[in-house]
Structure 1
Amino acid sequence: MLRIIRIALLLLLVQPVFAQKGKPLRIGIAGLTHTHVHWLLGSAARGEVEIVGISESNRELAKRYLTQYKMDMRLVYNSLPEMLQKTKPEAVAAFGSIEEHLAVVQNCAPAGVHVMVEKPLAVSLDHALQMKELAEKHKIHLLTNYETTWYSTNHKTFDLVTKDSSIGRIRKMVVHDGHEGPKEIGVNKEFLHWLTDPVANGGGALMDFGCYGANLVTWLMAGQRPESVLAITRQFKPHIYPNVDDDATILVQFPGMQAVIQASWNWPFSRKDMEVYGETGYVFSDNKADLRFRFKPDTLERRSALPPLAAPFDDPFAYFAGVVRGSIRIPPYDPSSLENNMIVMEILEAAKKSAREGRKIMLQ
Structure 2
Amino acid sequence: MKKISLFATFCALAATLSAPAQTPATSSNTPIRVVIVGLVHGHVKGFLSALPKNPAAQLVGIVEPNKQLAQQYATQYHLDPSLFSTDLEQTLTAKHPDAVLVYTTIKDHRRVIEAAARHNISSMVEKPLSTTMEDALAIRRAAREHHVNVLVNYETTWYSSNAEAIREANDDKLGQVRRIVVHDGHEGPKEIGVGPEWLPWLTDPVQNGAGALFDFGCYGADLSTVLMHGKAPASVTAVAQTDKPAIYPHVDDEATVILRYPGAQTVLMPSWNWPFARKDMEVYGATGYLITVGPGGVRTRYKGEKTEATSTAPALPADQRDSLSYLAAVLHGQVKPEGDLSSLDTNMIVMQILDAARTSARTGRTVELKPLPQ
Please give the range of the TM-score, normalised by the shorter of the 2 chains.
over 0.9
Q: Measure how far apart 1:21 and its partner are.
A: 6.0
What is the aligned-residue identity percentage? 46
Distance 2:27 2:290 in 1: 33
User: 1:82 is matched by which residue type in structure 2?
Assistant: Q
Contact residue 28 and residue 92 of structure 1 kept, 8 A: yes
- TM (norm. structure 2) is 0.91
Contact residue 128 and residue 152 of structure 2 kept, 8 A: yes
Distance 2:314 2:169 in 1: 19
Contact residue 56 and residue 324 of structure 2 kept, 8 A: yes
2:343 to 324, 337, 344: 337
User: 1:275 is matched by which residue type in structure 2?
Assistant: E
Q: Measure how far apart 1:22 and its partner are.
A: 1.2
Report Cα offsets for 1:215-259 as digits up to 9, x if no partner.
Answer: 000011111111100000010000000000001100000000000
Unaligned runs of 5+ in 2: 5-25
* Corresponding position: 1:153 with 2:161: yes
* Corresponding position: 1:173 with 2:172: no
2:65 to 45, 57, 62: 57
Distance 1:83 1:237 in 2: 41
Q: Describe the SS at the equivalent of 1:63.
A: helix
User: 2:319 is matched by which residue type in structure 1?
Assistant: P
Q: Measure how far apart 1:312 and its partner are.
A: 1.6
Contact residue 20 and residue 318 of structure 1 kept, 8 A: no
Distance 1:335 1:242 in 2: 32
Contact residue 20 and residue 48 of structure 1 kept, 8 A: no
User: 2:301 is matched by which residue type in structure 1?
Assistant: R
Q: Measure how far apart 1:306 and its partner are.
A: 3.1
* Corresponding position: 1:138 with 2:164: no
User: 2:323 is matched by which residue type in structure 1?
Assistant: P
1:242 to 249, 256, 259: 249
Contact residue 211 and residue 251 of structure 2 kept, 8 A: yes
Unaligned runs of 5+ in 1: 1-10
Report Cα offsets for 1:50-91 as digits up to 9, x if no partner.
Answer: 010010011221122222221112111012112112211111
1:273 to 250, 274, 280: 280
1:227 to 229, 234, 237: 234
Q: Which residue of 1 aligns with 2:110?
A: 102
Contact residue 102 and residue 124 of structure 2 kept, 8 A: yes
Distance 1:57 1:308 in 2: 39
Q: Describe the SS at the equivalent of 2:356.
A: helix
Distance 2:78 2:28 in 1: 24
User: 1:196 is matched by which residue type in structure 2?
Assistant: T
Q: Which residue of 2 aligns with 1:73?
A: 81
Q: Measure how far apart 1:39 and its partner are.
A: 2.4
Q: Measure how far apart 1:43 and its partner are.
A: 2.2
Distance 2:366 2:357 in 1: 9
Q: Which residue of 2 aligns with 1:128?
A: 136
Contact residue 2 and residue 334 of structure 2 kept, 8 A: no
Distance 2:166 2:44 in 1: 28
* Corresponding position: 1:284 with 2:291: yes
Q: Which residue of 2 aligns with 1:86?
A: 94
Distance 1:198 1:131 in 2: 20
Q: Which residue of 2 aligns with 1:6?
A: none
* Corresponding position: 1:40 with 2:64: no
Q: Which residue of 2 aligns with 1:354?
A: 360
Q: Describe the SS at the equivalent of 2:250.
A: coil
Distance 1:126 1:192 in 2: 25
- TM (norm. structure 1) is 0.93
Contact residue 164 and residue 314 of structure 2 kept, 8 A: no
Q: Measure how far apart 1:161 and its partner are.
A: 0.4
Distance 2:149 2:183 in 1: 29
Q: Which residue of 1 aligns with 2:325?
A: 318
User: 1:306 is matched by which residue type in structure 2?
Assistant: A
* Corresponding position: 1:204 with 2:211: yes
Distance 1:20 1:282 in 2: 42
User: 2:242 is matched by which residue type in structure 1?
Assistant: Q
User: 2:130 is matched by which residue type in structure 1?
Assistant: A
Distance 1:72 1:56 in 2: 14
Q: Describe the SS at the equivalent of 1:284.
A: strand
Distance 2:117 2:318 in 1: 28
Q: Measure how far apart 1:12 and its partner are.
A: 5.3
Contact residue 20 and residue 312 of structure 1 kept, 8 A: no
Contact residue 27 and residue 332 of structure 2 kept, 8 A: no
Distance 1:214 1:306 in 2: 22
Distance 1:85 1:184 in 2: 41
Q: Which residue of 1 aligns with 2:15?
A: none
Q: Describe the SS at the equivalent of 2:319.
A: coil
Evaluate the alpha carbon distance shift between residue 152 and residue 76 of structure 1 in structure 2; reply closer, same or farther with a 3 A threshold.
Answer: same
* Corresponding position: 1:304 with 2:311: yes
Q: Describe the SS at the equivalent of 1:200.
A: helix
User: 1:254 is matched by which residue type in structure 2?
Assistant: Y
Superposition misfits of 4+ residues, deviation over 3 angstroms: 11-14
Q: Describe the SS at the equivalent of 2:205.
A: coil
Structure of greater relative contact order (alpha carbons < 8 Å, 6+ residues apart): 2
User: 1:84 is matched by which residue type in structure 2?
Assistant: L
